[in-house]
């Protein structure tokens, strides 16, 4: 799988073999995007270059059974004005 970048596409696959489930960019940052995978990895693409080390590795805490997994990331619109704060919500539903 590939992700569109400023100068073409960036090939991408997580160590667990999952493709990206989301791409998000911090407010005002035109050089980086954060790419997440269902199996709990978040990578950074900086100026069109995929960084080899995950920004965040939660794969041991994320289930991929059925459609479980990490599906999104959001940045606070006030991120540039406030100290960074990472909020993570993991929820398991009993059906």
pLDDT digits over 20-38, tens only? Answer: 888 888 888 888 888 988 8
**Amino acid 95: pLDDT:** 46
- Which two tokens mark 64? 């991929």
**Amino acid 74: pLDDT:** 78
Residue 42 phi, psi dihedral angles, 5° rounding: -125, 125
Region for 71 from its dihedrals, namely left if φ exceeds 0, alpha if ψ lies in -120 to 50, beta otherwise: alpha
**Amino acid 89: pLDDT:** 54
**Amino acid 53: pLDDT:** 92
Instruction: Based on DSSP, count helices (H) and strands (E) in the chain, helices before strands.
Output: 0, 7
Identify the H or E element spanning 33.
Answer: strand 32-37
- What is the overall mean pLDDT for the chain? 76
Does the pLDDT at position 87 exceed 60? no
**Amino acid 14: pLDDT:** 73
- Please name the residue that has the structure tokens 């005002």: 28
């Amino acid at each position: 799988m590939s992700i569109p970048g400023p100068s073409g596409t960036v090939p991408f696959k997580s160590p667990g073999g999952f493709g990206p489930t989301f791409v998000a960019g911090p407010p005002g940052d035109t050089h980086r995007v954060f790419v997440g995978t269902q199996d709990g990895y978040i990578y950074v693409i900086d100026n069109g270059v995929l960084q080899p080390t995950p920004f965040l590795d939660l794969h041991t805490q994320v289930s991929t059974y059925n459609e479980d997994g990490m599906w999104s990331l959001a940045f606070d619109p006030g991120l540039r004005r406030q100290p960074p704060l990472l909020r993570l919500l993991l929820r398991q539903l009993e059906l």
